[in-house]
Amino acid sequence: MSLQGRLLSAPIAHRGLWRVGGRPENSLTAFEAACAGGYGIELDVRLTADGEAVVFHDETLERMTAQSGLVEEQTAETLAALTLLGSDQHIPTLEQTLALVGQRALLLVELKTPAGQEGLLEAGAAALLAVHPGPVGVLSFNPDALAWMAAHAPDLARGLNAGQPSDLEAIDRAHPDFLSVGLDLADHPRVRDWRAAGRPVIAWTAHRPADAARLHDLADNLIFEGFQP
């Protein structure tokens, strides 16, 4: 399937199909629910102190667990013992997530790589994604993380995250295959020109049907949460 086809296969659930008071974001239950609903999945990965790629959005643990501290200072074993928002769900590794999802859904893996630390997380993620049987791509706000992927794993689809116009200035540096832009950036002239050239655009994050309707003529797909398109 072409890149365009993979990205357009279904709307993409932001951090899985989660819900407040139920399935936590970036949890295996949220990913299973997205698969069952026929959606793609966007998720976040960070590097642990012992070099494991774990699925977690925040830089610190406070919001999602009962613990504090930086994710990058914890081992994978320590993180695996923590529960998410008081549920029975634990912080999964990227490897566990790939095994769960298999070929059932598109996975967009956002690389949470701090500036100047490019290479370690990217190498681990690229090795896992290279043997994954299902459709995958990577995202990042860090253009150098994407440039690393372009140089070392060129067959892996890469998307540049952009939330403000200045982020688009990194397009040439990042070498993306597609753009992943905030709702308010979807109508930006440079984004329109990118899409007019036949290159995919995904927009985020749609929180209600009106957001999805607004994006109909501006993006090829959407990342959503809080409702089911």
Instruction: Give the position of tokens 């013992």.
Output: 81
- The rounded distance, in Å, linking the Cα atoms of 53 and 47 is 5
Of 5 and 64, the one with more pLDDT: 64
Give the pLDDT mean for 126-151: 97
CA nearest neighbour of 219 among 175, 183, 190: 183
**Residue ranges per domain, the chain?**
3-224
pLDDT at 86 over 90: no
Residue 50 pLDDT: 97
Least confident of 15-29, 93-107, 169-183: 15-29
Residue 2 pLDDT: 66
Measured distance between the N- and C-terminal CA atoms of the chain, rounded to whole angstroms: 23
pLDDT at 6 over 80: no
CA angle 94, 95, 97 (to 5 degrees): 65
Residue 19 pLDDT: 87
- The radius of gyration of the chain's CA atoms, rounded to the nearest angstrom, is 17
Give the number of other CB atoms < 10 A from CB of residue 3: 16
Do 18 and 225 meet the contact criterion of CB atoms below 8 Å apart? yes
Q: What is the pTM of this model?
A: 0.96
- Average pLDDT over the chain reads 96
Percent of the chain with pLDDT over 70: 98
Provide the CATH number for the domain formed by 3-224 in this structure: 3.20.20.190
- The rounded distance, in Å, linking the Cα atoms of 206 and 219 is 12
Largest CA distance in the chain: 47
pLDDT band at 20 (very low <50, low <70, confident <90, very high): confident
Give the pLDDT mean for 207-225: 96
pLDDT at 7 over 90: no
pLDDT at 128 over 70: yes
pLDDT at 23 over 80: yes
Q: How far is CA 35 from the centre of its chain?
A: 15
Give the pLDDT mean for 120-124: 98
